Chain A
Amino acid sequence: MTEKKFPAPLSMHVDLNDFIPATDEEKEYLVQMRPSSTFFKDGVKRLIKNKVAFISLIVIVLITIASIVIPLFWPYSYDNQLGVQPGKPVDASYNNLKPFEYGRTEQAQIEAGEKVFPHIFGTDSAGRDYFIRVVYGTRISLAVGFFASIIVLVIGMTMGSIAGYLGGKVDLIIMRIVDVIYSLPDMLMVILLAAVMNQRIGPMIEGTVLAKIGANILSLFITFALLYWVSMSRLIRGQILSLREQEYVLAAQATGAKGTWIITKHLIPNSISVVIISTALQIPNAIFTESFLSFLGLGVNAPMPSLGSLASDALNGMTTYPYRLVIPAIVISLIVLGLNLLGDGLRDAFDPKLNK
């Protein structure tokens, strides 16, 4: 290093030493030892390290992909009664097949040397391929869980931010409503609303696109929208209230940052992880509720299957065909368990305040 001469105090002369090119040694200080990591990258790294959460993630992804892809190429469909052919009498040999058994006409085909796609889980009492029904039921249950959580997220976020942002009387009123809804016994209300709304919505949506989703699923969504937004809105309101008071927000304001900048650069990144995690934890909740309602006969409309309705249908033939109950039971438990563990893992990985 070149020796630095101290300029005379108060000298207006330019110190030429300041303009000497840096030596290699000095440059080394500026070399990055490792690429800088973002919050998101750190979180992903922590998530992958967490074996339980990572395995759950893989299981969930596999189940989701399977439920989307398999129906595309499977030769049977969920509502296709194999024994019923147009113009022919109903072939009862297709009903209640055990796994890997074949109906009468299929056996004839096999003897003739043709290949018949096996019924891996057999068929149900109406002669429908049970495997594809389970796959389809998984798809329905996942979709219901996902969309219900999104609805809850949107409504909760809107109400929570309004309450947190406006404060004052609006906040007070919203929070009292939240208090009351929060103390309502949710399941009873869900059952009541679902039972009634089915009949109310049914005729209303006939002939529209919504009819395809079915009145039961729609009423499930509506009840979710009405009841479950409260905890999300509490969470978001709390986040906003506490973040608003943070020093870095004050610092940003002091340096002249505009409202939009503060919201996009400070408020959202700091609260997004909490919001995403609680949404992820809401999904198994919704799947639980859907299967519960389906079990009581208030879920999806027949012939559409969901995991809950499959389990409920299987109760009738439980002594002879226990696997029909066990299979959807295992799938539900896997999904709910996987999502719960994944949610816990996400919380550990992405909530910086929890890091010990």
Chain B
Amino acid sequence: MNSKTLLYILKRIILAIITVWVVITVTFFVMHAVPGGPFVGEKATSPAAMAQLEAKYGLDKPLMEQYVTYLKDAVHLDFGPSLKQRGRQVTDIIMDGMKTSAKLGIIAAFSALIVGVILGSVAALRRNKFIDKLIMVITTAFVSMPSFIIGSLLLIVFAIKLMIVPANGSTPQGLILPIITLSLYPMAYITRLTRSSMLDVLGQDYIRTAKAKGVSGPKIIFGHALKNSLIPVITYFGPMLAYIVTGSLVVEQIFAVPGIGRAFVNSITGRDYTLIMGTTIILATLIVIMNLVSDIMYKIVDPRITLE
């Protein structure tokens, strides 16, 4: 690793930190721009009780002071108490939801990766044959379907009509459909990505050299082609995580999975402001970090890539 790479990594880390700070700031000020504050709309509260509530949550202090306090607490992952779920800390709610959501997301990501790479390689090696065209048609269809539609259709067919799997996502079997729903889009994307990069690699000189030297077919594919064509797939790790996080919002809603996505959606409809802020910041940070990691990995793995 030369100094140029290090400089690039440093720049990316600084950018990531700034991004997270922007997210926290935007979230904070946007939330405080809501007219009437978080307690309006609840059952009629007397002015005295209102003042007491605001004092309890520190809402009576000047905005900048609240902001600085919030920033400090956010760094320590302390987002204060939930406004609607009495007696629970936002951090605890998020950690609770994370357990299920992380399981869901990680399984979905890995199945998408494995299936996608296999399908993509098959399509590239059988270019313009029937199987290639079939794979491309199917993946194009999946890329064009919003996750909530795929999820609902799967729910109708497999849980309600065929009754193979439970419709409720709170049991382990119930996670099968949400995982499939979440993984279909990244799977389709990875398939297309692998196919095009594999085609690119197969046209390279070193593949021809290997062939000319008499290296066997499987050895070329697994030893040379596959390894090199997976490099662009690394760049998709970040966006894939972002997709899975946002996709889980609707998927958890459809299948009633007790995860962080559902907590987030419920906090929006229930106007639980501290929970909205906490979840946004945690999820956004997760996505930013993942983007950072996949970008840096990309530069390290492929030394040919020129750094800006």
Q: Given known contacts A180-B19, A192-B30, A195-B268, is B284 in contact with A185 (CB within 8 Å)?
A: yes
| Contact (Cβ within 8 A) A188 B153 | no
Chain A residues, CB < 8 A from B242: 185-187
Residue of B nearest to A186 (CB): B242
Q: Given known contacts A180-B22, A183-B19, A185-B283, is B153 in contact with A326 (CB within 8 Å)?
A: yes
A70 CB, min distance to chain B CBs, angstroms? 23
Cα(A332)–Cα(B145), bound, Å: 8
Task: Decide yes or no whether B254 CB sits under 8 A from chain A.
Answer: yes
Task: Decide yes or no whether A322 CB sits under 8 A from chain B.
Answer: yes
* Size of interface on A: residues with Cβ below 8 Å to B: 42
Chain A residues, CB < 8 A from B31: 196
| Contact (Cβ within 8 A) A196 B33 | yes
Task: Decide yes or no whether B148 CB sits under 8 A from chain A.
Answer: yes
| Contact (Cβ within 8 A) A319 B160 | yes
| Contact (Cβ within 8 A) B280 A333 | no
Report whether over half of chain B's contact residues are helix, strand or loop; otherwise say mixed. Answer: helix
Chain B residues, CB < 8 A from A206: none
Residue among A186, A188, A291, A329 making CB contact with B280, cutoff 8 Å = A188
Task: Decide yes or no whether A90 CB sits under 8 A from chain B.
Answer: no
Residue among B144, B152, B245, B288 making CB contact with A336, cutoff 8 Å = B144
| Contact (Cβ within 8 A) B27 A192 | yes
Task: Decide yes or no whether A62 CB sits under 8 A from chain B.
Answer: no
The number of chain B residues touching the other chain, given as a range, is: 35 or more
Interface residues of A in 307-335 (CB under 8 A from B): 308, 311-312, 314-315, 318-319, 322, 325-326, 329, 332-333
Task: Decide yes or no whether B138 CB sits under 8 A from chain A.
Answer: no
Chain A residues, CB < 8 A from B268: 191, 195, 296, 298
Name 13 extra pairs, CB < 8 A, besides A196-B30, A308-B146: A179-B15, A184-B23, A187-B246, A188-B245, A188-B283, A188-B287, A292-B246, A295-B250, A298-B268, A315-B152, A332-B146, A333-B145, A337-B144
Can you list 15 pairs linking A and B with CB atoms under 8 Å apart?
A: A180-B15, A183-B288, A184-B22, A184-B284, A188-B246, A188-B283, A191-B268, A192-B280, A196-B31, A200-B34, A284-B144, A322-B156, A325-B149, A332-B145, A333-B144
